[in-house]
A and B are shown apart, each in its own frame.
Chain A
Amino acid sequence: MKTRKMKRITIYGLYAALACLTFSSCSKFLEVEPKEVLVKEQMYRNIYDADAAVIGIYGKLLSLAEQHILWNELRADLLTVTNRANPYLKEINTNDVGAISVDNPYANPRKFYEVILNCNDVLTNFQVMRAENKFTPEEYNQRYSDIMAVRSWVYLQLGIHFGRVPYITDPLEDTDAVLDKDKYPLLEFEQLLTKLIADMEAVPYKLLYSDTESLMFNVDGYTMERFYINKQALLGDLHLWNNDYQKAAEYYKLVMTSYDNLGNDGYRYDRYKIKWAEISTNNDIAVGYLRYREQDVRTLINSKTQGWRSMFSRSQDELWNTEWVWTLPFNSNFNPQNPFIRLFAANGGDHLLKPSQESLDLWGNQTQRNGVPYDARRDLSVSMIGQEGVVTKYTDEFSDIETMLPIDKFQRGGKWHLYRAAKLHLRFAEAANRDGHHKLAVGLLNNGVGRIYDDPNQSDKTDVQQTHLPFPYDFDARNGNNPRYRATWHRNDGLRGRAYLTFREINPTDSLTQVEDYLIEEAALEMAFEGSRWEDLVRIAIRRNDPSFLADKIYEKLSKEGHPQADAVRSKLMNRENWYLPFNWEQ
């Protein structure tokens, strides 16, 4: 009896002890705020927190780089897979959207919504901060507009690749809630575009951050100026998608001239002007040869410090500043890691992607001004290993040009090339051409504004070498000695001028379509693999209501590599529905 009673007491005791433990854990004194982690209430207290939030958004944005290139290049006609690529990459390459696996990670838009929801959260909190007067209106305007632009850019990408997407402006805790179609209906691309234009037109600040802003200080050796999205360039793109050519041209022109009054002559004459080649020194970013040896193909300037190729790997010096509008750097010391080395490099990477035969043929159909029967940008964008091409635009910081071996295999830095002057000029020309200014468009494409409006017999340049048109088509490229003129655009050399190519001849009766075709093709030659090809094809196909503009090009890529589905994919792409990736992910 005694033992049984003892047992019972022991059991009750244990219960009691357990109960004590349970209750005590509810007590507040144990709740210590973690020191290493920010909790929500601590996040938006002052300008420095706001800056951290902005940088955080861009850090998050970097994680979209891989998919951005796969969507815009691997889906399009210039890039294809090697036999080392996994089946998911092959699905993206084939572009039969109905046959894409449900679990294909490259087709999954979830990461894009993570960035959007982060932006929504930051935007909401910025408004709260502004209401609580935690930063000045100027500080608020710049940061709010920046994040709004990032969000709009991400939405534009989603719209281009998915056609119909939910437009969400609330900060959601749970990314999967995006898929709730009852709460967030899918928006047609055209409706989405209207929303994005309204959002962006409404932002209170459309310039770059002002020099005095803390966000413009150098960070980790990077100049921050071109780190942030260019809102005017984005607005230009949005209006161009919307076929509002005048507006698009206006915004592009603002970017092209944005440095004109901010510094010395170099700012005005060189920045975003597609400047001519320095033929005696080769200290430029143009295609060039050693002077007086232009006939010798061995003297092509193929270097990381001089000539056209150098723009992809040179340090952020004055020449770099003349071209780049928006780039985001990868650094081995921080996440996310550079995805491009794995995709493209043959040594130190997996060489999963390579230039398509179609892209090599496009370059092969050009003639340089010294008679060399191909576009030198081929050899400056692609190296060959045997019969297989290797895209070098993303790996020039990583590997040696000659040997293609990594300089230091642990230094896997590089850049996500997002926007540069060439794209700006080609898109401006696209808008101008559609707006009736073919001649100006051809000048920007071929040999520069000055030359196309020139009269070589006239030594007095007072009335030539300029467009005599109102903004945004006002270009003054006068370069005369008697009387002396050195106008803003006098160094403009045109895209093909800078690339040392022979010029396109325009047939006047069909110039609108012909010029547009040439502009889109020039974008392929100049900016292959830089993430704008699919965009370009889709934009023109929609504008002309001609799906074959897109379908034929994808067909060329697939058929030239003997892909068995080339014909089937072509006929599927003739239906706009089949341009779009399936909008879904596994929750």
Chain B
Amino acid sequence: MSAAEDVVTEAPAVEAVPKRAMTLGTGTSLVVLAALLIAPVFVKNFIIFQMTMLLIYGLAVLALNILTGGSGQFSLGQSAFYAVGAYTTAVLMEHFNINYALTLPIAGVVCFGFGFLFGQPALRLSGVYLALATFALATAMPQLLKLNFLEHWTGGVQGLVVTKPDAPFGLPMSQDMWLYYFTLVVVIAIYIFSVNLLRSRSGRAFMAIRDNEIAASAMGVDVALYKTLAFGVSAAITGIAGSLGAIAVQFVAPDSYTITLAISLFLGMVVGGVGWLPGSIIGAAFIIFVPNMAEGISKGLSGAVFGVLLFLVIYLVPHGARQVAILGQQLAGKLRKN
């Protein structure tokens, strides 16, 4: 065995995204915000519910985006963190009668701990190994939730029913509409937090690790700490998304959180553009509405449609929605000049 065959020059696992390209400009942000605020007034309750789910999945995709687009680590196991968040909320609400709003930070803390601990061994892994470990985590999660000795708390295979909260202070709003605005506030708060996180010292450390781990450690970045931190933050946000999801769907069961969910979230990130935070919501729209349409045509078709579209995205627009947005901007610029 010669020395040459063992030496590998490793290309970065994720293509570098400049920090400025990660967010939207102020003007666009305000327009999107206004649209999100006004829209529910004009639509039916079922559509409001779907918009709530859109925000929730958007949040989960955002969490994965911080992990992969920010720190360059993979996870095919986001469904596990989502499940832990959902179950934390369901158990706290149904067994301890804790207010739904208070369960969110608790779920966040629990998932942060879980993600941080899972990140410890994952630290030593990179690229495909990390994808493998998280893939195994996502596959094993439903079985862990079905465990006998947890059944008293988790309800086993049956799952738990969660009560939907009413609008507080006697506000004249349907439950769905209240939940939508509640979710919107949480999502906006976390979005602002994430943008600031990526602009902070920690965010720069994440990106330095993503682009070149050895160079980052040479510059004095504590690689081990920041890698686990990225895992923890991502898990915490995913957990909060899971909590909101449990409240919105009013039900948690082990088989809602299979590898399929993890794959969907991963797909949402790729479609939205890795490292482009606003793309998360576009990715979420994709993973919610495309299966609905596909199942409308034929049962079981959604996986095939997902897969084919994913291939199209990685061949044609490898940077996902971000690339489309940039192309659109350039086109608009050209039209204006003419």
Partners in one complex: no
Chain B positions within 8 Å of A, measured between CB atoms, are none
Chain A positions within 8 Å of B, measured between CB atoms, are none
